Amino acid sequence: MSGLELRDVTKRFGTFTAVDSINLDVPDGTFVCLLGPSGCGKTTLLRMIAGLEEPSEGFILIDGADMTPVPTHKRNLGMVFQSLALFPHLNVGENIAYPLRIRGVDAARQKARVDELLELIHLPGYAERGISQLSGGQRQRVAIARALALSPKLFLLDEPLSALDAKLREAMQVELRQLQQQLGITTIVVTHDQREAMTMADLVVVMGEARIRQAAAPVEIYRQPADAFVADFIGSTNLLDFAADSTGRIEVLGGAIAGLEAPDGLGQGRISIRPEDVHLVAPGEGHDGTVTFVRDLGGTIETFVDVGGSTIVAVTTPRDRTGIKAGDKVGVVFPPEACVVLAR
Q: Which residues in this chain contact another protein in the complex, by CB under 8 A?
A: 50-52, 71-75, 77-79, 81-83, 85, 87-89, 98-99, 102-103, 146-147, 149-150, 156
Closest CA to 33 of 195, 171, 178, 274: 195
Rounded Cα gap, residues 108 and 32, in angstroms:
35
Least distance (Å) from another protein to the CB of residue 312? 45
Least distance (Å) from another protein to the CB of residue 81? 5
> Which lies closer to another protein via its Cβ, residue 103 or residue 329?
103
> Which lies closer to another protein via its Cβ, residue 24 or residue 156?
156
**Residue 245 CB coordination number (10 Å):** 11
Least distance (Å) from another protein to the CB of residue 94? 11
Instruction: Specify whether the CB–CB gap between 263 and 341 falls below 8 A.
Output: yes
> Which lies closer to another protein via its Cβ, residue 95 or residue 194?
95
| Cα 98 to Cα 91, 93, 217, distances in angstroms | 10, 9, 36
> Which lies closer to another protein via its Cβ, residue 87 or residue 318?
87
Least distance (Å) from another protein to the CB of residue 91? 12
> Which lies closer to another protein via its Cβ, residue 185 or residue 198?
185
With 0-12 / 13-18 / 19 or more C-beta atoms within 10 angstroms meaning exposed / middle / buried, residue 333 is middle
> Using only C-alpha atoms, what is the Rg of the chain?
24
Instruction: Specify whether the CB–CB gap between 293 and 301 falls below 8 A.
Output: no
Least distance (Å) from another protein to the CB of residue 85? 4
